[in-house]
Amino acid sequence: MQPAVPIDVDETSGIWRTDGLPMVYMPRHFLVNNHLAVEAALGRDAYRAILRAATAKSAIEWCEEQVRGKGLDPEATFRHYFQRLSQRGWGQFSIDALDVAGRHGSISLRNSIFALEAGQGPGQRVCYMFEGFVTGASSFLLGLATATEVECEETCCACEGRHDHCRFDFAAKP
């Protein structure tokens, strides 16, 4: 099948765009090799915290742009965010539970790029980059001032070998 996202390539500059946003198309191993190199240099805990803040910022900016560009409401934007990630090859996200009033939810992910690149190993949870994606999108959805008001953890990973998918649970801090 062909990509489900619209891709426009500027003939003059060569810049790729989807919905007006400049994009980069790259080999999966390139992204994951860079990711693992930074993790090795900084240590997972430090890198995870940096990554969470940076990816949450990008998720919020993306969601805000969708509201401006497409006029979507917050929940439709939240759903569209995970749809677009899925359509762009990060893995197949599905929103299994979403309780906006209760300010929590659960998202599953199949064919995560990180799990596919890592193979399987007991106790390995390798998709922590997506925790920031989820905190950013959910803080946007819930109208919170910052993404740090949301907690999210990858609670199981396909890489561990016990499940066929990864799962992210999130909740606004009380």
Using CB under 5 A as the binding rule, whether residue 166 contacts Zn ion is answered as yes
Using CB under 5 A as the binding rule, whether residue 85 contacts Zn ion is answered as no
Of 112, 135, 138, 139, the one binding Zn ion by CB under 5 A: 112
Binding piece for Zn ion, criterion CB under 5 A, among 63-71, 78-86, 95-103, 164-172:
164-172
Binding piece for Zn ion, criterion CB under 5 A, among 27-35, 78-86, 138-146, 158-166:
158-166
Binding piece for Zn ion, criterion CB under 5 A, among 3-11, 83-91, 122-130, 136-144:
122-130
**Between residues 51 and 157, which has the closer beta carbon with respect to Zn ion?**
157
H, E, C per residue of the chain: CCCCCCCEECCCCCCEEECCEEECCCCHHHHHHHHHHHHHHHCHHHHHHHHHHHHHHHHHHHHHHHHHHHCCCHHHHHHHHHHHHHHCCCCEEEEEEEECCCCEEEEEEECCHHHHHHCCCCCCCCCCHHHHHHHHHHHHHHCCCCHHHEEEEEEECHHHCCCCCEEEEEEECC
Q: Which residues bind Zn ion (CB under 5 A)?
A: 112, 115, 127, 157, 166
